[in-house]
């Protein structure tokens, strides 16, 4: 792939530029069982090569950071998990400030979700729990209702995710706050995402742009890509294959 012109400014100053990406639907094709999601072959090597060349490279995902460590880790690549609730610093997993005290509440809600049997699948993350209805869409309304009542009971936050609802500590962490911290001080930043949760990262890019930073919003097309993501993107590429080609186009 020839490098899209939008990225020329970023590619021309790698020592002051950051390359950030989502994981599911962006590096890894979407699959029904979230634990079977794998990045396309060559993705980790590509991110590692980018980290050799660019000031900062990172993956910002809704996944537990442990999953990212096992599936996409490469030297020099920053990993942010659970929408910024945790990240890897010097090889160690660290929780965002204030998150740790919610761990037991989250575990308790996950157990109650298992007992209630309302979701198709209860996914225990490190500091949040996801209630999936992907393969059983008739459960959607009941899952949302149950999550809302648990949020009211516990103080956790209920957030709509991809064919799922997440219950998470009410810390106002999202991909935008994560990207805002991760990419602070850079002269050029791009982010690749495919879903609603990535709009917050686009918001962070908008804020960077107001401050004079060169930004590129990259949408990754899938049948489920929200219209808003496509309309706000500077470039849209086709699926994880297109995303990987675009990342590779940033290398010499």
Residues that bind Mg ion (CB under 5 A): 22, 24-25, 194-195
Q: What is the residue-wise DSSP string for 182-229?
A: HTTT-SEEEEEE-SGGGHHHHHHHHHHHHTT-EEEEEEEE-TT--HHH
DSSP single-letter state for residue 250: T
| For Mg ion, the closer CB: 62 or 180 | 62
For 62, 167, 198, the CA distances from 161, given in Å and listed in that order, are: 9, 10, 11
- The gap from C-alpha 142 to its chain's centroid, in whole angstroms, comes to 26
Half-sphere exposure of 115 (CA within 13 A, CB side): 6
Least distance from Mg ion to the Cβ atom of residue 152, Å: 28
Length of the chain: 252
Least distance from Mg ion to the Cβ atom of residue 25, Å: 4
- The gap from C-alpha 72 to its chain's centroid, in whole angstroms, comes to 13
Nearest residue to Mg ion on Cβ basis: 25
CA-angle at 77, arms to 90 and 131, nearest 5° = 90
| For Mg ion, the closer CB: 61 or 214 | 61
Please check whether residue 123 is in contact with residue 132, taking contact to mean a CB–CB distance below 8 angstroms.
Answer: yes
| For Mg ion, the closer CB: 18 or 34 | 34
Least distance from Mg ion to the Cβ atom of residue 196, Å: 9
| For Mg ion, the closer CB: 22 or 120 | 22
SS3 content of the chain, % helix, strand, coil (to 5): 45, 25, 30
Least distance from Mg ion to the Cβ atom of residue 150, Å: 24
Could you tell me which residues are beta bridge partners of residue 159? Answer: 166
| For Mg ion, the closer CB: 54 or 191 | 191
Least distance from Mg ion to the Cβ atom of residue 185, Å: 26
Least distance from Mg ion to the Cβ atom of residue 158, Å: 19
| For Mg ion, the closer CB: 24 or 82 | 24
């Amino acid at each position: 792939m020839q490098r899209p012109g939008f990225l020329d400014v970023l590619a021309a100053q790698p020592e002051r530029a950051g390359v950030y990406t989502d994981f599911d639907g962006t590096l890894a094709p979407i699959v029904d069982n979230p634990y079977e999601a794998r990045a396309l072959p060559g993705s980790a090597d590509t991110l590692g090569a980018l980290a050799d060349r660019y000031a900062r490279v990172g993956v910002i995902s809704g996944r537990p950071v442990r999953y990212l460590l096992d599936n996409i880790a490469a030297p020099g690549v920053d990993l942010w998990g659970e929408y910024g609730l945790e990240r890897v610093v010097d090889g160690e997993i660290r929780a965002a400030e204030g998150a740790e005290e919610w761990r037991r509440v989250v575990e308790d809600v996950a157990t109650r979700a298992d007992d209630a049997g309302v979701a198709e699948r209860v996914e225990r993350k490190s500091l949040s729990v996801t209630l999936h209805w992907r393969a059983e869409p008739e459960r959607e309304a009941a899952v949302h209702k149950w999550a809302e009542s648990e949020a009211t009971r516990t103080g956790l936050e209920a957030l709509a995710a991809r064919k799922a609802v997440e219950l998470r500590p009410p810390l106002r962490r999202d991909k935008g706050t994560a990207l805002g911290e991760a990419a602070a001080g850079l002269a050029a930043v791009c982010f690749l995402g495919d879903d609603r949760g990535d709009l917050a990262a686009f918001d962070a890019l908008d804020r960077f742009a107001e401050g004079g930073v060169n930004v590129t919003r990259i949408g990754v097309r899938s049948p489920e890509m929200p219209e808003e993501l496509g309309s706000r993107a500077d470039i849209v590429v086709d699926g994880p294959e297109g995303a990987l080609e675009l990342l590779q186009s940033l290398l010499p």
